[in-house]
Amino acid sequence: MLRDAVRSLAEAKISPHAAAVDEEARFPQEALDALVANDLHAVHVPEQYGGAGADALATVIVIEEVARACASSSLIPAVNKLGSLPVLLSGSEDLKKRYMTPLAKGDAMFSYCLSEPDAGSDAAGMKTKAVRDGDHYVLNGVKRWITNAGVSEYYTVMAVTDPTKRSKGISAFVVEKSDEGVSFGAPEKKLGIKGSPTREVYLDNVRIPADRMIGEEGTGFATAMKTLDHTRITIAAQALGIAQGALDYAKGYVQERKQFGKPIADFQGVQFMLADMAMKIEAARQLTYAAAAKSERGDSDLTFQGAAAKCFASDVAMEVTTDAVQLLGGYGYTRDYPVERMMRDAKITQIYEGTNQVQRIVMARNLP
Ligand SMILES: Cc1cc2nc3c(=O)[nH]c(=O)nc-3n(C[C@H](O)[C@H](O)[C@H](O)COP(=O)(O)OP(=O)(O)OC[C@H]3O[C@@H](n4cnc5c(N)ncnc54)[C@H](O)[C@@H]3O)c2cc1C
């Protein structure tokens, strides 16, 4: 029922704008409005804070179905979870009430600020500093590649509080867009997910109350990594949705397109490609849903499974979208058809929330 509801909504309100959002590289406001109106913009927020209280599997299904229509738009529910999960996992009750309530209502979005210009895969090498000053912390630094920066009201920011301790000297904070000293860089000009704003976040002597720290001092990196264990599954879901969208489009196309006097769907070479695409998608789906169940239960092998789901599903998305372009021939290579957009959008799923090389490091360290 949830899938049907999200699919109908996405087909009616999100899909019609997907090409323009990509072409004009503009924020998918129509998608945000539709998601908020239907309480699908941050479904993971627990009911006690006014949220829909969706479990990890339901959240994955929402993201998958939105991504099937428009990958950029799927970053609304996905990054709302990524940005806010550190607070839900490690924040005080007061922080949860303060920040989850507006998020659930659709009054504010949440971003996640871990990466920096010189700290990507090696996130613990970050330089952003938070220095204690009485009842406050003062933050200085640059966060890079921040999804929904400028649109979000709230930012979970990881910063160094003790430079002698590397990852154990990093703490997490909630920073608000309206805090003095917060500003944003120009939107990045990207290959895909062009509707999702990616900008730098500048922190210039941002003075925030000490109670905005998420958890204890020095626990921020652990919280950030624990968050990714859960949210990599949402990237798997995004990849899955993009791949499904490409397969569904190609499936329809091959029945219409005629060459040699018959639909190209009649050729076994084409049928085998579609069969492989569907098989890979289904394998990715099973891995993703199983990982979502593990996320919900907090199973001990979640780290491996979340990395495996993200890595596998994103590789599948890249392969399947590339094959979809192939099945449309020259037409697939143009912007008159959606599959080239899906191919460009798929690429990012192999890169963010840890590249697929990093996922393999994570899996190798946590072999089942
Ligand atoms: C569109 C977009 C949105 C993003 N959104 C966010 C966000 O909201 N919040 C956030 O914090 N970050 C975000 N990121 C950042 C993203 O997570 C990083 O780009 C990613 O982790 C890779 O870091 P890097 O770009 O610095 O690449 P690098 O770490 O410089 O990696 C370059 C290459 O080296 C490889 N490599 C690095 N180390 C190793 C190793 N030990 N072994 C093998 N290979 C290795 C990588 O796999 C990659 O192929 C986003 C990025 C993009 C492009």
**Residues 148-173, mean pLDDT to the nearest whole number:** 98
Same-domain status, 236 and 212: no
Pair 114, 164 in one domain: yes
Provide the percentage of residues in the chain whose pLDDT is more than 90: 100
Looking up residue 212, the CATH number of its domain turns out to be: 2.40.110.10
Lining ligand 1 with CB less than 6 A are 111-115, 120-121, 145-147, 190, 193, 198, 348, 351-355, 357-358, 361
**Is there a single domain that holds both residue 101 and residue 205?**
no
One domain, residues 197 and 131? yes
* Domain carrying residue 12: 1-105
* Mean pLDDT computed over every residue of the chain: 98
Residues 116 and 202 in one domain: yes
In a shared domain, residues 262 and 349: yes
pLDDT in tens, 17-40: 999 999 999 999 999 999 999 999
**Given 105, 140, 159, which residue is the final one in a domain?**
105
CATH of the domain at 245: 1.20.140.10
- pLDDT band for 239, please (50, 70, 90 cuts): very high
Specify the pTM: 0.98
pLDDT recorded at residue 366: 97
- Using CA atoms, how far apart are residues 305 and 302, in angstroms rounded to an integer? 5
For 313, the token pair is 């599903």
Please check whether residues 252 and 336 belong to one and the same domain: yes
Q: Are residues 233 and 342 in the same domain?
A: yes
End-of-domain residue from the set 75, 105, 135: 105
Count of domains forming the chain: 3
Tokens of 252: 């329809």
Atom from ligand 1 closest to the CA of residue 113: 11
Q: What is the CATH number of the domain that holds 61?
A: 1.10.540.10
CA of 360 to the centre of ligand 1 (A): 14
Residue 70 is predicted with a pLDDT of 98
Quote the ligand 1 centre to 143 CA distance (angstroms).
13
190 CA: nearest ligand 1 atom:
1
One domain for residues 213 and 225: no
Shared-domain flag, residues 152 and 43: no
Has 353 been annotated as catalytic? yes
Q: What is the pLDDT of residue 55?
A: 98
Rounded Cα distance between 108 and 76, Å, is 11
Task: Sort residue 342 into left (φ over 0), alpha (ψ -120 to 50) or beta.
Answer: alpha
What residues does 262 pair with on adjacent strands? 259
pLDDT score recorded for residue 324:
98
Percent of the chain with pLDDT over 70: 100
pLDDT, tens only, 74-85: 999 999 999 999
The protein residue with its alpha carbon nearest to ligand 1, atom 37, reads: 121
Domain boundary among 73, 105, 137: 105
Beta strands in the chain (DSSP E): 110-113, 129-133, 136-147, 154-160, 170-176, 182-184, 198-209, 213-214, 258-259, 262-263
| Domain shared by 59 and 124, yes or no | no
| Residue 115 CA, ligand 1 centroid: distance in Å | 8
pLDDT at position 11 is: 98
* 306-316 pLDDT, tens digit each: 999 999 999 99
Q: Give yes or no: residues 197 and 304 share one domain.
A: no
| pLDDT tens figures, 207-238 | 999 999 999 999 999 999 999 999 999 999 99
Between CA 31 and CA 234 the distance in angstroms is 18
Quick one: pLDDT at residue 19?
Answer: 98
